[in-house]
Amino acid sequence: MDPHLRHTARVATIHGIPVHVGWSTLVVAVAIALLGPFAPAQDTLNAVAYLLIVGVHEAGHAWVVRRRGHHVDAITVHMTHGACMYHGIDVTPLDRALIAWGGVAAQALLAIAASVPLAVFGHVPVLEVLVVINLSIAAFNLLPFPGRDGEDAWTLFRLLEEQGATRAWAKRHRDRPRHR
């Protein structure tokens, strides 16, 4: 069994992708709701908003995995992290970089979507979580450390530059007259 699926419960299947939630996630969410610094309803909304952020991030990875022609095995959501398990015949470094950016891009879309009602209605704590905490998590995820998306994400620019240089070289040599 995949270690990411240990101690999880399958809670849904979305577009054919099994979605699992860690048992500790439910325990921590209930603890936040009951013992958090705000009113129980607000703490519950904040915990749900946080889990939504993690789920949207992993869904972003899954969307790119499928767009790149690979297979998503499952998504897991834990209180401190999530995981998008996937496989493919030939997962390239470019694929891994794009998949890494997929999670952060999904978070950015969520932040933009939450910013509109926040701008209209003003101080709404759950919307502030969906914007401020969300963008903070995205920034943390982009740190170039092992186990973070930043480990693969930042290679995208080097890979694209190499591809551009390769294309430019090929074009120069393709257009050059050949002498035989």
- Domain locations in the chain? 3-175
Residues 114-135 pLDDT 10s: 999 999 999 898 999 999 999 9
Q: What is the 3 state secondary structure string of the chain?
A: CCHHHCCEEEEEEECCEEEEEEHHHHHHHHHHHHHCCCCHHHHHHHHHHHHHHHHHHHHHHHHHHHHCCCEEEEEEECCCCEEEEEECCCCCHHHHHHHHHHHHHHHHHHHHHHHHHHHHHCCCHHHHHHHHHHHHHHHHHCCCCCCCCHHHHCHHHHHHHHHHHHHHHHHHHHHCCCCC
- Mean pLDDT score of the chain: 88
